[in-house]
């Protein structure tokens, strides 16, 4: 930081991948009503960050160029805007920034108080920064869409979690095992032991014929699939689902949306449910508490300094991260 300037990483147009990211000095933002200014300690990347850069969410996101990407941050409160009640300078927090405004790949960022939660000393900045998009998506998919109760009550739910080694999948497996579930998970061969160590009951290598067919080794049918991978057809899921089984698709493409509509219109018992994560402060708080209590881990794929954020960006685009990619100023 020099004067009121800070280091940040931004892009000014669609496309360009990692090479499209530029290192700049820009003014430190000022917290407005209900906002806190944070000194960023860690930012985790999500595929949606580079998908936005690619133009996959145009014309909605990003709302303007140049755009500083990154929504999942952990940091320290430096200043509070008018009306902020629960935070003061020096507080350590985790926050999720709006995808419209972004701002995470920078030394400082402003967050809404309403999407900021306290971070106890047991939760490192990197562990906290991993949680927002990936953790909240896993939690919402499991509890809201699949109906799993994380206190362990209720009938056993047979789950399939695809791409269990990724950012969302690693949280989904750990959270699922807090409930009364049997978890079958898919990942690459190199991550089989890792995914078992997260709690999965059985693991399929997605590159084997049985893995590609999503067949449970113990012959189970799935009540719900938390689908974190991409490019798997409904016809592959369908024979593996229980009578009322549903596929919760967190990256629904056009054909998934067609299936969703068709299954609804025909009152099919087997359903495809597209999921869009809606950030909720109480859910983020819950996840941070689980990490504090040692009941949930953030698996870190790699850490990159802000000065080399493009290396982490390229890694995320590559699609082979094990856990979360973190950038640290
Ligand atoms: N709807 C929402 O609100 C929402 C929220 C969050 C994320 N998402 C979307 O969800 C998807 C997953 O996000 P993420 O952060 O978990 O991604 P990620 O961390 O980039 O996922 C990478 C992992 O996926 C594994 N993988 C890739 N293809 C696979 C397959 N066919 N079967 C099994 N594993 C496979 C890779 O394993 P290998 O290296 O072995 O290939 C790698 O470990 C992304 O498309 C993201 O945009 C949507």
pLDDT in tens, 75-124: 999 999 999 999 999 999 999 999 888 999 999 999 999 999 999 999 99
Residues 238, 243: Cα–Cα separation, whole Å: 10
pLDDT at 2: 53
CA angle 251, 41, 98 (to 5 degrees): 40
Residues 229, 164: Cα–Cα separation, whole Å: 8
Residue nearest to atom 23 of ligand 1 (CA): 166
Q: What does the block give as tokens for 182? A: 């049997």
Note the pLDDT tens digit of each residue in 181-197: 999 999 999 999 999 99
pLDDT at 55: 96
Query: What residues contact residue 226 under an 8 Å CB cut-off, 6+ apart?
Result: 138, 141, 142, 146, 159, 160, 161, 162, 168, 169, 172, 176, 248, 250
Q: Ligand 1 centre and the CA of 178: distance in Å?
A: 22
pLDDT at 36: 98
Work out the average pLDDT over 172-178. 98
CATH 3.40.50.720 describes domain 134-274: yes
- Chain centroid to Cα 119, Å, comes to 18
Q: Ligand 1 centre and the CA of 163: distance in Å?
A: 5
SS3 54: helix
- Chain centroid to Cα 220, Å, comes to 28
Of 166, 312, 313, 321, the residue with max ligand 1 atoms within 8 A of its CB, to mutate for a pocket test, comes to 166
Q: Ligand 1 centre and the CA of 137: distance in Å?
A: 12
Query: What residues contact residue 232 under an 8 Å CB cut-off, 6+ apart?
Result: 162, 214
Q: Ligand 1 centre and the CA of 294: distance in Å?
A: 24
Work out the average pLDDT over 299-315. 98
Question: Can 5-131+298-328 and 134-274 be said to share one CATH topology?
Answer: no
Q: What does the block give as tokens for 75? A: 């940091």
pLDDT at 59: 87
Q: Ligand 1 centre and the CA of 81: distance in Å?
A: 36
Q: Ligand 1 centre and the CA of 230: distance in Å?
A: 7
Where do we find the tokens 């806190």? 36
Work out the average pLDDT over 292-319. 98
What topology is assigned to 5-131+298-328 in CATH?
A: Quinone Oxidoreductase; Chain A, domain 1 (3.90.180)
Of 174, 249, 319, the residue with max ligand 1 atoms within 8 A of its CB, to mutate for a pocket test, comes to 319
- Look over the chain and give the mean of its residue pLDDT values, rounded to a whole number: 97
Residues 8, 56: Cα–Cα separation, whole Å: 23
Q: What does the block give as tokens for 257? A: 């949306």
SS3 238: helix
Residue nearest to atom 34 of ligand 1 (CA): 163
Identify the bridge partners of residue 276 per DSSP, sorted by sequence position. Answer: none
Note the pLDDT tens digit of each residue in 233-279: 999 999 999 999 999 999 999 999 999 999 999 999 999 999 999 99
For 1-15, 38-52, 268-282, 298-312, which range has the lowest pLDDT when averaged over its residues? 1-15
List residues near ligand 1 (CB under 6 A). 46-48, 133-134, 137, 162-163, 165-169, 186-188, 191, 206, 228-230, 250-251, 275-277, 316, 319-322
Tally of CA atoms within 13 A in the half-sphere of 289 that contains its CB: 6
Q: How far is CA 162 from CA 11, 55, 149, 202, 321, in A?
A: 31, 26, 20, 12, 14
Residue nearest to atom 2 of ligand 1 (CA): 276
Work out the average pLDDT over 139-168. 98
Q: Ligand 1 centre and the CA of 319: distance in Å?
A: 7
Max CA separation in the chain (angstroms): 63
Residue nearest to atom 33 of ligand 1 (CA): 163
Residue nearest to atom 45 of ligand 1 (CA): 251
pTM recorded for the entire structure: 0.98
In the chain, where are the structural domains located? 5-131+298-328, 134-274
Residue nearest to atom 40 of ligand 1 (CA): 188
Is the model's pLDDT at 1 over the cut of 70?
A: no
Taking the CA of residue 134 as reference, the ligand 1 atom at the shortest distance is 6
Is the model's pLDDT at 25 over the cut of 80?
A: yes
Residues 311, 13: Cα–Cα separation, whole Å: 19
């Amino acid at each position: 930081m020099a004067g009121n300037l800070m280091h940040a990483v931004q892009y000014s147009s669609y496309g360009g991948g990692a090479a499209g990211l530029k290192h700049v000095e820009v003014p430190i933002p000022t917290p407005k009503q209900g906002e806190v200014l944070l000194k960023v300690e860690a930012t985790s990347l999500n595929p949606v960050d580079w998908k936005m850069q690619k133009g996959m969410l145009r014309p909605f996101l990003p709302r303007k160029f140049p755009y500083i990407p990154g929504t999942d941050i952990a940091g320290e409160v430096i200043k509070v805007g008018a009306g902020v009640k629960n935070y003061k300078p020096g507080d350590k927090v985790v926050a999720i920034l709006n995808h419209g405004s972004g701002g995470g790949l920078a030394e400082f960022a402003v967050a809404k108080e309403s999407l900021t939660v306290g971070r106890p000393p047991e939760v490192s900045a990197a562990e906290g920064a991993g949680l927002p998009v990936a953790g909240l998506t896993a939690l919402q998919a499991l509890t809201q869409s699949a109906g799993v109760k994380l206190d362990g009550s209720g009938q056993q739910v047979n789950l399939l979690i695809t791409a269990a080694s990724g950012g969302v999948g690693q949280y989904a497996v750990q959270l699922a095992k807090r409930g009364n579930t049997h978890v079958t998970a898919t990942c690459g061969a190199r991550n089989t032991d890792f995914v078992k160590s997260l709690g999965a009951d059985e693991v399929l290598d997605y590159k084997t014929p049985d893995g590609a067919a999503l067949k449970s080794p113990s012959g189970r049918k799935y009540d719900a699939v938390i689908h974190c991978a991409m490019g798997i057809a409904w016809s592959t899921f369908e024979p593996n689902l229980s009578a009322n089984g549903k596929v919760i698709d967190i990256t629904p493409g056009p054909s998934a949306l067609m299936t969703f509509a068709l299954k609804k219109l025909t009152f099919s018992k087997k359903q495809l449910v597209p999921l869009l994560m809606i950030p909720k402060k109480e859910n983020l708080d819950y996840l941070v508490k689980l990490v504090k209590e040692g009941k949930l881990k953030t698996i870190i794929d790699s850490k990159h300094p802000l000065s080399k954020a493009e290396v982490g960006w390229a890694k995320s685009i590559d699609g082979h991260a094990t856990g979360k990619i973190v950038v640290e100023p």
